[in-house]
Amino acid sequence: MTGTRRTQTRSTVPGELRTSTRILMGPGPSAVHPRVLRALSTPLVGHLDPEFVAVMDDVQAMLRTLFRTDNELTFAVSAPGSAGMETCLVNLLEPGEEAVICVHGVFGARMADVAERCGARVTRVTAPWGEPIDPARVEEALAGRRPKLLAVVHAETSTGVLQPLEDLSRLARGAGALFVVDAVTSFGGTALEVDAWGIDAVYSGSQKCLSAPPGLSPVSFSPRAVAAVEARRTKVQSWFLDVTLVRGYWGGARRAYHHTAPVSQCFALREALRIVLEEGLEARFARHLRNHELLRDGLEALGFELVVAPEHRLPMLNAVRLPPGLDDAAGRRRLLEEYDVEVGAGLGDFAGKVWRVGLMGESSNVNYVNVLLAALREILGNRGK
């Protein structure tokens, strides 16, 4: 009987993991450089080992360079970008406080949801999907109010809109509000000036334009934001995301244990940040724009239509309306199964009508664009040749 049970147990063990080699052109994750994959396989050390503390210091210094900030409280949350969103909002908002949240897609709506879960009184400023937030509408919403914060998505992944930030920052300052920015898709792919643009709290994700594996969320808090956290009357709702606790782990001469950081993920992020800085930010931004323009021209020749007006398009996330005769799910399935190409489906108002084509980080290259266009020509019957 014992032998039978042992045999049955052995037979249920899955085989060795082998995944397909995909061409990742969706809204994330993006392709990962071989150097980053090698960093993932670096032998583990403890999460308080002096060698790992040095890695944490390297990550912080490089994040400050990429964010273009001198903020001391800059680190990587040990969780994906949505946890970065929660880190900013749960630390800055207390029950009963006011927040003005800009909503022009899925992730602005998510910010508003998180803010309400913090007990905040939320005023939403909306724009149609595919359009940026109008600063005049924000100004109207702020009139007669002194909200704790104004929050907006810089690169709305659900719509492909790049939101100008400087006017909104000025309005936030005029209202005495903190300015919070979602930079999950923009960070490392287009200009983001945290200090120069007066951003008080910003968060991103490791898996988009940084081209590291998913699982970490870079964040940065200005001195004003830190002062607001320190002046709270109530405890932060989340113990794990409380920056007054986490900062003792990420900074100071004697690191205080808070949690066991994902050591291998931090190794990978460190290498990804090195690659970004070796390329140079301006060169990286220019590459994303060039490949966006190549993709735009090819898709338009095939009958696709870009959703967003040229002046507000994201170079790293292209929202495109499908041409007549191309079925959403069937087309994406053929791309994946026949060509190993992944593109993203539309969300919300765009579901079934729009694809989201990512050109982020390592996935922003000419070969990827040409493979996708060639596959689409075959699927569409050589249209646009």
Q: Residue 147 sits in a domain of what CATH number?
A: 3.40.640.10
Model confidence at 13: pLDDT above 60: yes
148 and 219, same domain (yes or no): yes
For residue 327, CA distances in Å to 87, 321, 359 come to: 39, 11, 22
94 and 68, same domain (yes or no): yes
Model confidence at 181: pLDDT above 80: yes
Q: What is the mean pLDDT of residues 313-330?
A: 97
Model confidence at 3: pLDDT above 70: no
Token output for 361: 């980080």
Q: Within 10 A of 170 (CB to CB), how many other CB atoms are there?
A: 15
272 and 286, same domain (yes or no): no
Angle between helices 223-230 and 243-250 (to 10 degrees): 120
Q: Are 383 and 377 in contact (CB under 8 A)?
A: yes
196 and 306, same domain (yes or no): no
pLDDT tens string 184-209: 999 999 999 999 999 999 999 999 99
Q: What is the dihedral of CA 122, 127, 129, 131, to 10 degrees?
A: -140
Model confidence at 7: pLDDT above 80: no
* pLDDT at 9 (0 to 100): 58
Residue 356: what are its φ and ψ, rounded to 5°?
-115, 110
pLDDT tens string 160-176: 999 999 999 999 999 99
258 and 292, same domain (yes or no): no
Token output for 378: 């075959």
95 and 210, same domain (yes or no): yes
Residue 73, beta-bridge partner list: 221
* pLDDT at 12 (0 to 100): 87
Residue 14 within a domain: no
Residue 219 within a domain: yes
Measured distance CA(164)–CA(21) in Å, rounded: 36
- 253 band by pLDDT with thresholds 50, 70 and 90: confident
Pairing state of beta strands 341-342 and 23-24? parallel
* pLDDT at 383 (0 to 100): 56
226 and 346, same domain (yes or no): no
- Domain of residue 253: give its range: 34-277
Query: Where among 259, 277, 295 does a domain terminate?
Result: 277
Q: Beta strands of the chain (E only): which ranges?
A: 23-24, 73-77, 98-103, 121-126, 149-153, 155-156, 161-162, 178-182, 201-203, 217-221, 305-306, 317-321, 341-342, 344-345, 354-358
Q: Supply the mean pLDDT for the chain.
A: 96
143 and 174, same domain (yes or no): yes
55 and 111, same domain (yes or no): yes
Q: What is the mean pLDDT of residues 133-149?
A: 97
Model confidence at 134: pLDDT above 90: yes
Angle between helices 223-230 and 81-92 (to 10 degrees): 60
90 and 125, same domain (yes or no): yes
Q: Are 319 and 308 in contact (CB under 8 A)?
A: yes
Report helix, strand or coil for 369: helix
Single out the residue of 385, 279, 363, 278 nearest to residue 25, CA to CA.
363
Measured distance CA(85)–CA(201) in Å, rounded: 10
Token output for 100: 């003005």
* pLDDT at 2 (0 to 100): 53
Q: Give me the number of domains the chain comprises.
A: 2
Measured distance CA(371)–CA(383) in Å, rounded: 15
Query: Where among 222, 254, 277 does a domain terminate?
Result: 277
* pLDDT at 10 (0 to 100): 61
Q: Within 10 A of 253 (CB to CB), how many other CB atoms are there?
A: 4
Single out the residue of 88, 117, 104, 224 nearest to residue 154, CA to CA.
104
Residue 384 within a domain: no
99 and 111, same domain (yes or no): yes
Give the distance, in angstroms, between the CA of residue 63 and the centroid of all CA atoms in the same chain: 14
Question: End-to-end distance of the chain based on CA atoms, in angstroms?
Answer: 67
Model confidence at 5: pLDDT above 70: no
189 and 159, same domain (yes or no): yes
Q: Are 220 and 73 in contact (CB under 8 A)?
A: yes
Query: Where among 242, 277, 312 does a domain terminate?
Result: 277
Single out the residue of 375, 373, 60 nearest to residue 220, CA to CA.
60
Q: Within 10 A of 6 (CB to CB), how many other CB atoms are there?
A: 10
